[in-house]
Amino acid sequence: MAKNIMLQGTMSNVGKSFLTAALCRIFRQDGYSAAPFKSQNMALNSFITVDGAEIGRAQALQAEAAGIEPSALMNPILLKPTTDVGSQVIVNGKVRGNMRAADYFRHKKELIPDILTAYEQLAAQYDIIVIEGAGSPVELNLKADDIVNMGLAEMVKSPVMLVGDIDRGGIFAQLIGTLELLEPHEAEMVKALAVNKFRGDKSLFQDGINILEERSGKKVAGVVSYVSCDIEDEDSLSEKLDSKAADGIIDIAVIRLPKISNFTDFDVFSQYDGVSVRYVSRASRLGSPDLIIIPGTKSTIADMNWLREVGLDTEIKNRLREGIPVFGICGGYQIMGKTISDPVGSECSGSIGGLGLLDCVTVFSSKKSQSQTKGRFFDADGFFSCLAGAEFCGYEVHMGRTKCFGNALTSCGGSFCGNAAGCYVHGIFDSSDVAGRLVRRLFQTKGLEYRGQSVDRRIYREQQLDLLADSVRKDLDMDLVYRIMEEGL
């Protein structure tokens, strides 16, 4: 049976996902087989495994860090918010249905067998399981039925390392306050503390380490530096989504839909010198970018309605008429069509007219498409003719079925009309050929030549994961981490 260690945070976005990925890579470098595990994840950034299961994007990245194939075993429960009070519930990689939050909380303990079965199967296959908690372990109104923090640690008998985020301030209140709110037997399960996202001279924080250890009775396993490597963020708390001015020669504007999903599709463009990506949620901020991208969304009809409410629908159409290309992925592709209908209420019931930029219609059904895919671009007119023949691989995850009456964009479907194009494939830009061609074409439209190299996102991610692991290894007492795992609970 595998050894284990669990990372719990004092709150959301303290860096648990990145530290989990770092430990997975470190254990791999040290010759161990390791796997990530998160019993319940709430995120709109998801990934499709080889066998068609849907899991959190973070667990897929952590599996990549460990050098193993992502599996539904690593994330048995995924919640994808569809409204402010409800989510699509995915169990073992497949949709169970939509639930209001109150209903889910009443029934989630029934999913414990699924969680334990997944964990036990992983533990039988690997040397080490790195478990990630969610949010805070001391949300006192939710603790009674906890299946993702201390409740899970007890079930799988895992020692815990508690992580705080010093960059957001209040590190002593975060760590010591969390320990104070835990039950005594839970606090005993916390074997070490970690201070994450430190900037500056660490010698100035030695007194802080002493205070934390004296007040808590726990060892500080490390003060981890703020790592500037380029690794995909998990959810809408990402700093990448903050509105900012264009600072590159090429300005790519991504529409920040309220239920935006899989915005990691566009991280690849940040690797190209002179290219900036910004997220736009106001019509007044759209400006005149070089490329507009409409991303995926978990609530296509609601987000199409939002585009009209804020006036971005008109601005996008105006920019297209001015010759600015527009590309849509998944829900963004659906939005670019003529109509979107949800007769079965799979996301939000009703029907709405789309932007009408593509000659296609979308109808939602109760069955979800989940598959990895690969293909190539067909010949096209307009801006996207630069992609003709380019090959790609990625994955599809969507409820709707889109019927295209116009020109097919790729061998996997999609559509184009002039400078407008869209398809269902997430990760379609990760290929160095696809992203490289787009960037070169964008430079050409400004009368410039891109002299940099095309970048393969997958190779780049491997390099960044090594940088992350190297940085964390320097800052974390790995001898203590191994000892904690060996001693267990």
**Residues 15/195, Cβ–Cβ less than 8 Å:** no
Q: Is 330 one of the annotated active-site residues of the chain?
A: yes
DSSP structure class, residue 476: B
Residue whose pair of structure tokens reads 């008998």 in the numeric block: 157
* Alpha helices, H only, 30-143: 57-66, 101-107, 112-125
Determine the residue type at 157. K
**Residues 122/2, Cβ–Cβ less than 8 Å:** yes
- Name, in order, each residue with C-beta under 8 angstroms of 244's C-beta and a sequence gap of 6 or more: 278
CA dist 105 → 79, 94, 108, 130, 149 (Å): 12, 19, 5, 25, 15
DSSP per-residue letters across 222-233? EEEE--------
- Name, in order, each residue with C-beta under 8 angstroms of 114's C-beta and a sequence gap of 6 or more: 76, 77, 91, 92
Which of 386, 417, 423, 426 does the annotation list as catalytic?
Answer: 426
Which of 24, 330, 348, 412 does the annotation list as catalytic?
Answer: 330
- Name, in order, each residue with C-beta under 8 angstroms of 110's C-beta and a sequence gap of 6 or more: none
**Residues 140/16, Cβ–Cβ less than 8 Å:** no
Distance of CA 473 to the CA centre of its chain: 24
Determine the Cα–Cα distance for residues 364 and 210; give it in Å rounded to an integer.
58
* Alpha helices, H only, 217-280: none
**Residues 359/405, Cβ–Cβ less than 8 Å:** yes
DSSP structure class, residue 281: -
Strand partners, 83: 86
Q: Is 426 one of the annotated active-site residues of the chain?
A: yes
Strand partners, 275: 250
Strand partners, 276: 251
Sheet containing strand 326-329, strands side by side: 275-280, 250-255, 291-294, 326-329, 420-423, 413-417, 407-410
Quote the tokens at residue 20.
């989990």
3-state secondary structure of 254: strand
- Name, in order, each residue with C-beta under 8 angstroms of 344's C-beta and a sequence gap of 6 or more: 364, 365, 366
3-state secondary structure of 165: strand
Determine the Cα–Cα distance for residues 301 and 422; give it in Å rounded to an integer.
17
The backbone torsions φ and ψ at residue 301, rounded to the nearest 5 degrees and listed phi first, read -65, -45
Residue 128's H or E segment, with its range, is strand 128-132
Which residues are identified as catalytic? 330, 426
